[in-house]
Amino acid sequence: MIISSQEAEKRAVEQIACLMCVAARTAPKARGIDDLVTLVVNGQEKEQLSAEMRRIAQESGAQFFERDANCLDKSPVVVLLGQKVKPLGTKPCGYCGYANCAECAQGTGMCAISTGDLGIALSSAANTAALHHADNRIMFSIGKAAINIGLFAEEVKIAYGIPLSITGKSPFFDR
């Protein structure tokens, strides 16, 4: 049997995406509370993400959404990490801007410790991609588009995307 480089790389990038989800899941979480949601997206759903990013760029004037959509188009797969951000009841804290977690839950605050957990998970996932020599970049714009089009359940309030590329030159370098 012969497996072409194109087929081998297609299989590898999907496997790397799954390994990134494992790395994100096993990353340390405050108080052991796991509110992380991971998705691996390709095909039609990835095209919907790009379209939404372009819509946001057009509507808001934030052209980095268009630039990032162009990068996403060059990626066969994207890993999405989202967080169900809930106050964790850590005392004392106040990093969210409220006096305590009860005030944060009643207001519009986001638990800084919970969002920090998302950052640690993102770093673990990106590191896994790098360890497997897959080009990647963490992008806020992809996560925003994913939330807008409903790829995550309603309780996910913040998300980021990590597109992957296995090419001779990273599409994320000279953006």
Show pLDDT as tens, one digit a residue, over the chain (175 residues): 999 999 999 999 999 999 999 999 999 999 899 999 999 999 999 999 999 999 999 999 999 999 999 999 999 999 999 999 888 888 889 999 999 988 888 888 899 999 999 999 999 999 999 999 999 999 999 999 999 999 999 899 999 999 999 999 999 887 6
- Alpha-carbon distance values, 86 to 82, 96, 107, 112 (Å): 12, 11, 12, 9
170 found inside a domain: no
- Residue 56's CATH number: 3.40.109.10
In a domain, 38, yes or no: yes
**Residue 102 domain flag:** no
How many domains would you assign to the chain?
1
Residue 175 lies in a domain: no
Quote the domain boundaries for residue 129: 5-81+113-165
Q: Which helix (H) or strand (E) holds 159?
A: strand 158-165
pLDDT of 86 reads 84
Is 93 part of a structural domain of the chain?
no
Using the structure block, give the residue that is written with the tokens 């360890």.
131
Residue 150 resides in a domain: yes
> Helical H runs in the chain?
5-26, 43-60, 64-73, 101-106, 112-131, 140-148
Residue 95 forms part of a structural domain:
no
Residue 105 falls inside a structural domain: no
Give the pLDDT score at 175.
63
